[in-house]
Amino acid sequence: MKKLTLLCALAFSSLTHAWTIDGLGDYKFEPLNQQAYIMHGPLGEPNPQNYGFMNNPGMIIGADGVIVIDPGGTYQVGLNVIEEIKKLTNKPIVAAFNTHVHGDHWLGNQAIMEQYPNAKIYAHPQMIAQAKDGEGDLWVGVMDTSTEGLSKGTIAVYPTDATTHLQEITVAGETFKIHNDITGVAHTNTDIMIEHVGSKTLFLGDNDLVHRFGRFDGTSDMHGNIKVLEYAIDLGLNHYVPGHGPSGDAQAAVVPFLDYLIVIKEEAEKGYEEDLADYEIKPFADKRLADYRDWHGYDAQLGKNINKMLLEVEALDL
């Protein structure tokens, strides 16, 4: 029954103006500017209702092909992303970028390589290494469990080409600049940010989130994430695309998450000086973060984020 429901959803999406997910809305590529298009995904966690779709796939239409950024978190999501691209252009997908190792952003590679086997997929060398060393299969399992089997058939198809900091990649007449060696570690130690030079657009991956909070795991560095967001703003670009949440200029799409992290940092530093535990720091941070309480994941992540930042503050003092 679940398989039939998914197949119906896939078929329905190809017959309408957008991929319609019952209870969530319509999802299609919308122009951010004359060259860059974004499909803003749902803000929740991967689950059966959203079929594991939760990120912001992007695309650039070049002279003789399409370039995709983060094609989604399952094979099935990748198929829908491709169908939405085909509604705008009949040009083939010639390249893709994966922003980091978390599979909700890149397991859609499978659909791209199935239909466009000559496409190149670019990513941080550590992302490729970690994905091949087990993270890819781990995320296949995460998505399968989270969607209650609706992502069945998804396999980890790895990027083909490793990137370097400030590397310029020209494909289909479009130039992309890679930004990653700012601090070494931010959201993960596998992040790249992709600048589309022609439209002055930056795809930040999960270094940036809007209206949604994610986790900071053992490979992350919250101090590094702050520096990366400051770096991104200093680039002075026109358009910024977070890994999750609405896009916009720097003030709308980057500053909110940066300010959140700065508040957490300041309160963790104060708490460390006063020998407070994370749960004792939380009320002081919460008082300053009223504007963020309606962001998805606020209640679940605030205490964890404070704990992570407090550990970093303590380590820096040792």
Cα(13)–Cα(63) distance, integer angstroms: 27
pLDDT, position 49: 95
Does 246 have pLDDT greater than 70? yes
- Structural domain harbouring 294: 254-318
pLDDT, position 292: 98
Answer yes or no: do 220 and 258 share one domain.
Answer: no
> What pTM does this model have?
0.93
Answer yes or no: do 241 and 258 share one domain.
Answer: no
pLDDT in tens, 260-284: 999 999 999 999 999 999 999 999 9
Answer yes or no: do 188 and 279 share one domain.
Answer: no
Cα(124)–Cα(175) distance, integer angstroms: 17
pLDDT in tens, 288-314: 999 999 999 999 999 999 999 999 999
pLDDT in tens, 133-143: 999 999 999 99
214: CATH = 3.60.15.10
Answer yes or no: do 205 and 307 share one domain.
Answer: no
Instruction: Confirm whether 230 is domain-assigned.
Output: no
Answer yes or no: do 240 and 273 share one domain.
Answer: no
Answer yes or no: do 240 and 274 share one domain.
Answer: no
What's the alpha-carbon Rg for the chain, to the nearest Å? 19
How many domains in the chain? 2
Does 162 or 3 have the greater pLDDT score?
A: 162
Instruction: Confirm whether 231 is domain-assigned.
Output: no
Longest Cα–Cα distance in the chain: 61
Answer yes or no: do 263 and 114 share one domain.
Answer: no
pLDDT, position 318: 65
Looking at the chain, the whole-number percentage of residues with pLDDT higher than 70 is 95
